[in-house]
Every structure is written in C-alpha cells, then in structure tokens.
Copies of this chain bind each other. A is one copy, B any other.
Amino acid sequence: MKRGQHLEMGGGAEFDAIRRLLETWGPQATGIGDDAAQLAIPVGEHLVVSTDASVENVHFRREWLTPEEIGARATIAALSDIAAMAATPRGMLLALALPESWRGDLQALARGVGHVAREANTPIIGGNISLGTELSLTLTVLGSTTHPLTRSGAQVGDILFATGLFGGPGAALRSLQSGENPAAAHWERFVSPTPRLREAHWLVEHGARAGIDISDGLLADAAHLARASEVTILIDATAIPCVVGVSADEAMASGEEYELLVAVPVERATAMNVRAFRDVYGIPLSAIGVCKAPEPEAVQGAATVRGFEHLG
C-alpha cells in the first residue's frame, strides 16, 4: 500500500488514510509495506491476473449505493473475472482515487472491500491511494488454477450452461435511472451479486471447457465466447432463467450479472446434474444454448437467439 504523489495535499493525510484502511482490514491485509507485494502461487498452478475499475458516475452513482456497497460491488466484479477462469483468488490490490468529499467514507468503502475479500478468502496484499475528483476503485486480483478456463475452448456441439437468474441488475438500473425504487428481487441482484468462484470449480469438474462471466450481458458475452472459440452460438430464449418481472430479451441484455456461461461437451452435458448444482449452490444451472459451426454471416463470432428444442 503506497500513497500517491500529488500536488494538492501533504503526505500526512495519505499516510493517515492508509493507516485507516489497514485498521479496517485487520488481518485481511497481509504483507503490506514493501514497494511490491510478494505472493506465493501453489507449485504447478497457473497464475491468472485481472484488473477491474469501478468509477463514480460511470459504474455507479453515489445516491444509489452506500459506501460499503460500492466497495463490495467493486470487489465482487473483480473477483468475478477470476471465477470466469475457474481460478482460486490468491491476493488482491486496491488502487483508490479518493475525492475530498468521500474522505469520511473511506472506512466504509474499505469495510465493503474487506468483507468481500474475507468471504472469498483473499488477502489484500497491496494498493495505492491518491486524491481524485471522482471516486474510483481499481481492484487487481491474482489467482491460480491447475486448469484455467478460457473463452477459446468451446467446440462445435458443446452445450452452453448458465448459472443463476438473469435480468435483475438491468431491471434495477432501469428503475434507478427512472427515479423509481427497484423491486427487491432486482435490487438484490444489482447491489450484491456473487462471484461464482466455487461454482466455476464445480463446472470444470463436470466438464466445462470454456467460460466467461456475464458482465456485458448474456448475449454480448456469448458473442465474446463465440468469437474466441470460432463457433456460432445459438441461444434458446425460452430457456433463459429470468428473475421475476423480466422478459428474456431484457435478461439477455442485462449486464453486471457476474453469473457464468460455460461450454460443456455434449457427452458431459447429458450427464450434468443440475439438481445437485442447485442443491449445493442455491441457484439454477440451465442449459441455454449450443455451439454450432461458424456460419458465413457470422464468421466474426456471434450469439444468435433461435427457437430450438429445449435442452435442459
């Protein structure tokens, strides 16, 4: 954890801010004090790393969320990228740009980050703090795994499975932007999504060989998977698991879901015990599409919504 250089403020305030962060995090923050953090990765595992920013008035508005929720949500979003690789998070770093007007919320922001870090058993190993005119939290998460799940591993014939229920964050955003109170079920999905870390491991054990987390929206992220794997993806709109009060179209466009979309070879897919998944994790696992050979009109990769027989 380092303070940033800056023009407007003496170093004392930054050191004080770092002290308060470390007090808030307690033992969750470890190994802080050098110019760079050291991190041990289990022998034989692949290191994965991702960085993800949450910026005020871009990713959230101050009036929508408490500081704890802002800190938590930023951390969840970053961990979700590690879940998408089916990796185990090993450490995280927080780069915080903190406007004067947020100074009093520093500990609450830190509590949100620390709470999610603790839930994910991920030490906070470093960071950076500086002034800024808008609040931003940039979380870098390092993880490791013996078998990284990538976007490029899907093959023709694979069945696509999605975790959870879709549409909540999009519906909550629409309500907030209209000045209305979101429905409780939508709000819950917006304010405290879950990084699907354990679910990702289960899915790899049960045959997943490509995956992505749903941050841009199910349809958009399916297109990313299709492009990386050089397949065409057909999605069965009738199979999309939606939160109450949301259409399939809305569900497929809803971003920041942090659910997983994975591709599973058909022989493993037919044996997929979706009931066992639901029993363990409390959320549905749904077969929602298939990977087809690239079509001439979709050589760049595409996700297409078509009716076809239900796979689930």
Within 8 A of B (CB), among A28-54: 33-41, 46-53
A126 within 8 A of B: yes
Q: List residues of A whose CB falls within 8 A of some B CB.
A: 2-8, 11, 33-41, 46-53, 55, 57-59, 61, 80-82, 84-85, 87, 91, 93-95, 97, 125-128, 130-134, 136, 138, 140-143, 148, 150-152, 173, 177, 212-213, 215-216, 220, 228, 255-256
Question: Known contacts being A33-B151, A38-B46, is A3 close to B216, with CB within 8 Å?
Answer: yes
Question: Known contacts being A4-B55, A130-B55, A216-B5, is A150 close to B34, with CB within 8 Å?
Answer: yes
13 A–B contacts from the bound complex (CB under 8 Å)? A34-B151, A34-B152, A35-B82, A36-B87, A38-B46, A41-B41, A47-B47, A49-B93, A51-B93, A51-B127, A53-B130, A55-B97, A55-B131
Residues of B within 8 A of A36 (CB): 48-50, 81-82, 84-85, 87, 141, 143
Residues of B within 8 A of A46 (CB): 38, 40
Partner of A47, one of B40, B58, B127: B40
A37, B49: Cβ atoms closer than 8 Å: yes
B134, A59: Cβ atoms closer than 8 Å: no
A140, B143: Cβ atoms closer than 8 Å: no
CB distance from A176 to the nearest CB of B (A): 10
Residues of B within 8 A of A177 (CB): 7
Residues of B within 8 A of A151 (CB): 33-35
Q: When A and B form their complex, which 9 residue pairs have the shortest distance between CB atoms, in order from nearest? A: A35-B84, A36-B50, A36-B48, A35-B81, A6-B58, A51-B93, A138-B138, A140-B140, A95-B138
